[in-house]
Amino acid sequence: MTYYYRLAILPQDTERIHQLNYRAFVEDIPQHASNEQRLLVDPFHEENTYIVCLKENEIVGMLALRSARPFSLDKKIGPIEEWLEQKPQHPVEIRLLVVDRAHRRGRAFFGLMQGLVNWCKHAGYDAAVISGTVRELKLYDHMGFQPFADPVGTEEAKYVPMISSFATYEKSAAKRLVAPTVNFLPGPPKIAESVKAAFANEAFSHRSAEYARLFATVKRQLLDLTGANYVQLLQGTGTLANDAVAAQLSRIGGRGLIIVNGEFSQRLCDHAKRFGLAFDCLEQEWGEALSIDQLAEQLDSQEYSWLWMVHCETSTGVLHDLEEITALCRARAVRIAVDCASSVGTVPVNFHDVDFASSVSGKGLASYAGLGLVFHQDAIEPDETIPRYLDLGQYEKYEGIPYTQSSNIVVALHQSLENILLDPQQRYQRIRYCEDRLREGVEELGVEVLAPKECANPGILTFVLPEEKSSKRLGDDLLLNGYRTHYESSYLQERNWLQVATMNEPSDEEMERFLELLRCLLGVG
């Protein structure tokens, strides 16, 4: 790997940063006096966040950020906002931007710029200002910086106040010359250009004949993909869809059983409590496969009316055998409800014998979030004891369109489903291939994958990091290098886990670059 980037937090990083600072602002630009130690400590060193550029484990460049006001530029020219027509709401100042002489050919600078942009988005900054040396104005222009005030400083060390925003970076040479950011998140998913274009179309009324035809087509697509008998689309998230399922379970009555083996199955218990449902929990260790024998024993221990479970537990990547569990329930006249938010669109599913299944328009269906989907086996009548928005009978009564709906979200889902249904088996095979390659690669690096292959959803991998390697730090560093991974949820940080979603179908090149980057950041080999 030519260059890679990370946050500077190791003890040995500090001295190298001071050395680079000295070379740049004492030897190259005579802004400070020389000293025997050949170290230059920035006055705001303790407040700075440093992004460092490495080659073969040696720091060859760095960028220092500071968000506290006043900026050094504020002190030189007054508040920067007074010079700007478009005033940033949350700016950050680049205190230092230095690359060692032997590596000043552009690539290291451009990689630092990508790291800066990704970090600013992550931290909530909307613009970066810098005092750019007049010696490198062309380079700053290539990186997306624009001057906004008169030069400051001395003749020997003259600087131009400059600013970069996300908009200017998008038009820059730096943006064109670095690899695009890779989305390894389970949500929001990678959105195809055709889906983006569909979403951008002009909105039209949900009461129009055009919308009714579109809506009927989308419902048919969803039924074709899943084998369900009915489906309702609710404007909301998977949480809303699960509330609608809980409302239906409340009509069944009796005692239920909830399989709990992760964050999202724990949330099913919360849904059930809020609807006053009587239920037991069959608890498994997070990341463990469900024992079918144990489930059968629990179902036979007393009379249950319904079972609720998560098909793919997103927090761990474990995938339950839906067909086998459904057969167990059917043999005992137990109704079954399943949260399939991370399985629909990533693995083949068949809801023909499933009473209720929930999912979403994002994740495996690769469209925008905003639709909660509820599949059901039987027709449902309206029930006035259920809140209107959660009453699936109301949706059924009005052919799925009882309330205001967004045509843009439905049009986008229609396009994404068209893409998937062209060859769903090819999509499933590609996701499986990506899972196999990444699983093999990370295990070669000594990283454990939580869910065993035989019970794992190929769409999401959970990495169990050793205690000395922080999942948050690794996720931050991967982001600087252009990989968005899933690590910020509290349930992941508490366990030092990091997740990558192969449901986004990364290219072979993106996977190999990721594995090489992981090797560098983990210090393997």
pLDDT (average), residues 94-114: 88
My answer on whether 163 and 47 are in the same domain is yes
Q: Which are the contacts of 15, defined by CB distance < 8 A and separation ≥ 6?
A: 39
At residue 189, the pLDDT reads 95
At residue 222, the pLDDT reads 98
My answer on whether 411 and 429 are in the same domain is no
pLDDT (average), residues 77-81: 96
Asked whether 72 and 143 are in contact (CB, 8 A), the reply is no
pLDDT (average), residues 279-304: 95
Percent of the chain past pLDDT 90, that is, above it, reads 87
The DSSP secondary structure of 317-346, one letter per residue, reads TEE--HHHHHHHHHHTT-EEEEE-TTTBTT
Percent of the chain past pLDDT 70, that is, above it, reads 99
At residue 357, the pLDDT reads 98
Phi and psi at residue 100, in whole multiples of 5°? -55, 150
**Dist CA 400 CA 124 (whole Å):** 39
My answer on whether 66 and 142 are in the same domain is yes
My answer on whether 166 and 214 are in the same domain is no
| Distance (Å) of CA 501 to CA 412, 469, 511 | 21, 21, 11
pLDDT (average), residues 150-162: 88
| Distance (Å) of CA 39 to CA 13, 14, 133 | 13, 10, 20
The DSSP secondary structure of 179-190, one letter per residue, reads PPPEE--SSSPP
Q: Is the pLDDT of residue 497 over 90?
A: yes
pLDDT (average), residues 262-268: 97
Phi and psi at residue 79, in whole multiples of 5°? -50, 130
Is residue 116 domain-resident?
Answer: yes
My answer on whether 417 and 457 are in the same domain is no
Q: Is the pLDDT of residue 154 over 80?
A: yes
pLDDT (average), residues 147-155: 90
Confidence of residue 135 (pLDDT cuts 50, 70, 90): confident
My answer on whether 232 and 300 are in the same domain is yes
At residue 324, the pLDDT reads 97
My answer on whether 240 and 364 are in the same domain is yes
At residue 494, the pLDDT reads 97
Q: Which are the contacts of 269, defined by CB distance < 8 A and separation ≥ 6?
A: 258, 260, 279, 281
Residue that terminates a domain, selected from 392, 421, 450: 421
Q: What CATH number does the domain containing 378 carry?
A: 3.40.640.10
Number of domains in the chain: 3
SS3 462: strand
Asked whether 483 and 514 are in contact (CB, 8 A), the reply is yes
Q: Is the pLDDT of residue 525 over 70?
A: no
Closest CA to 289 of 261, 267, 266, 309: 261
My answer on whether 40 and 160 are in the same domain is yes
**Dist CA 318 CA 456 (whole Å):** 5
Is residue 183 domain-resident?
Answer: no
Asked whether 464 and 448 are in contact (CB, 8 A), the reply is yes
Q: What CATH number does the domain containing 44 carry?
A: 3.40.630.30
Closest CA to 54 of 103, 105, 14: 103
My answer on whether 431 and 493 are in the same domain is yes
Is residue 186 domain-resident?
Answer: no
pLDDT (average), residues 39-50: 93
**Dist CA 304 CA 309 (whole Å):** 14
pLDDT (average), residues 195-213: 97
* CA 11-14-15 angle, 5° bins: 110
Exposed, middle or buried: residue 57 (CB in 10 Å: 0-12, 13-18, 19+)? Answer: exposed
At residue 49, the pLDDT reads 96
Is residue 324 domain-resident?
Answer: yes
Is residue 132 domain-resident?
Answer: yes
Scan for tokens 């590609």, then name that residue.
430
My answer on whether 143 and 259 are in the same domain is no
**Dist CA 343 CA 501 (whole Å):** 12
At residue 503, the pLDDT reads 97
At residue 241, the pLDDT reads 98
At residue 27, the pLDDT reads 87
My answer on whether 348 and 384 are in the same domain is yes
Domain containing 436 equals 424-522
Residue that terminates a domain, selected from 146, 178, 210: 178
Confidence of residue 486 (pLDDT cuts 50, 70, 90): very high
Is residue 462 domain-resident?
Answer: yes
Confidence of residue 1 (pLDDT cuts 50, 70, 90): low
Token pair recorded at residue 277: 């449902």
Token pair recorded at residue 439: 């699983």
Highest averaged pLDDT of the listed ranges 22-36, 106-120, 202-216 = 202-216
My answer on whether 52 and 197 are in the same domain is no
Is residue 185 domain-resident?
Answer: no
Q: Which amino acid is at 187?
A: G
Range with lowest mean pLDDT among 100-109, 110-119, 317-326, 438-447: 100-109
Average pLDDT over the chain reads 95
Residue that terminates a domain, selected from 421, 437, 471: 421
Is residue 187 domain-resident?
Answer: no
Asked whether 314 and 283 are in contact (CB, 8 A), the reply is no
Range with lowest mean pLDDT among 95-99, 263-267, 384-388: 95-99
Exposed, middle or buried: residue 110 (CB in 10 Å: 0-12, 13-18, 19+)? Answer: buried
Number of H helices, E strands in the chain: 18, 22
Q: What CATH number does the domain containing 433 carry?
A: 3.90.1150.10
**Dist CA 461 CA 314 (whole Å):** 9
Asked whether 59 and 20 are in contact (CB, 8 A), the reply is yes
